[in-house]
């Protein structure tokens, strides 16, 4: 078979057909699975009147559904990664004394918050590597805390609860996608 001047063998053409079928299937399963995960967490937040939906849950849902084979999509990495991000965010606030600095906003980011974000990011990466809990979204979690967006003590509980719900609902979906 020739396509745009490139010769294909029958097996290569079959692989392309299979890949195209899988991509079409993913066009339905991936967005539906990720939206479902965020819907469950969002409904839990609505029912409990807690802000259970936050930015770093999106990439976590993506990993569970889109890249289920990666170590970062496994429950240990997700939970310990985000927990490390929480600890790193609060530690960075303590190290920089940025607890009382203005929250990052459309008006800018105070220098103490920038320093806290840098430290939180470094601590998160260090901790997740040390604990073998690679979880890229955990950096977002630590940044939310360091920027002052989710830095109240109860926010740590909210984050852990949200991540736990995401794991409880997402792990069966991840296993299905393997």
Check: CB of residue 76 under 8 Å from CB of residue 130: no
Q: Which residue has the higher pLDDT, 23 or 75?
A: 75
Q: Exposed/middle/buried for 110, CB within 10 Å: 0-12, 13-18, 19+?
A: middle
Q: pLDDT tens, 101-159? A: 888 877 788 999 999 999 999 999 999 999 999 999 999 999 999 999 999 999 999 99
- For the residues of 24-81, what is the DSSP string, one character each? HHHHHHHHHHHHHHHHHHHHHHHHHTS----TTHHHHHHHHHH-TTSGGGSHHHHHHH
8, pLDDT greater than 50: no
pLDDT, tens digit (0-9, with 9 covering 90-100), for 20-67:
545 677 788 889 999 999 999 999 999 999 999 999 999 999 999 999
b/e map of 35-72 (b: 16 or more CB within 10 Å)? Answer: eebbebbbebbeeeeeebbbebbebbbbbbbbebeeeb
Give the span between the Cα atoms of 115 and 112, in whole angstroms: 5
Per-residue tokens: 104:
């990052």
pTM of this structure: 0.83
**Over 90: is that where the pLDDT of 88 sits?**
yes
């Amino acid at each position: 078979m020739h396509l745009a001047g490139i010769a294909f063998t029958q097996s290569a053409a079959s692989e392309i057909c299979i890949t195209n079928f899988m991509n079409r299937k993913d066009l339905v399963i991936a967005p539906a699975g990720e939206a479902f995960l965020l819907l469950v967490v969002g409904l839990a937040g609505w029912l409990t009147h807690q802000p259970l939906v936050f930015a770093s849950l999106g990439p976590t849902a993506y990993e569970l559904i889109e890249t289920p084979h990666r170590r970062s999509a496994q429950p240990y990495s997700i939970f310990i990664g985000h927990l490390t991000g929480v600890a790193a965010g609060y530690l960075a606030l303590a190290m920089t004394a940025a607890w009382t600095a203005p929250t990052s906003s459309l008006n800018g980011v105070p220098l103490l918050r920038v320093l806290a974000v840098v430290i939180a990011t470094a601590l998160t990466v260090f901790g997740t590597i040390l604990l073998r809990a690679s979880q890229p979204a955990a950096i977002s979690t630590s940044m939310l805390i360091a920027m002052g967006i989710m830095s109240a003590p109860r926010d740590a509980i909210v984050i852990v609860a949200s991540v736990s719900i995401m794991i409880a609902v997402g792990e069966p979906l991840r296993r299905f996608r393997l």
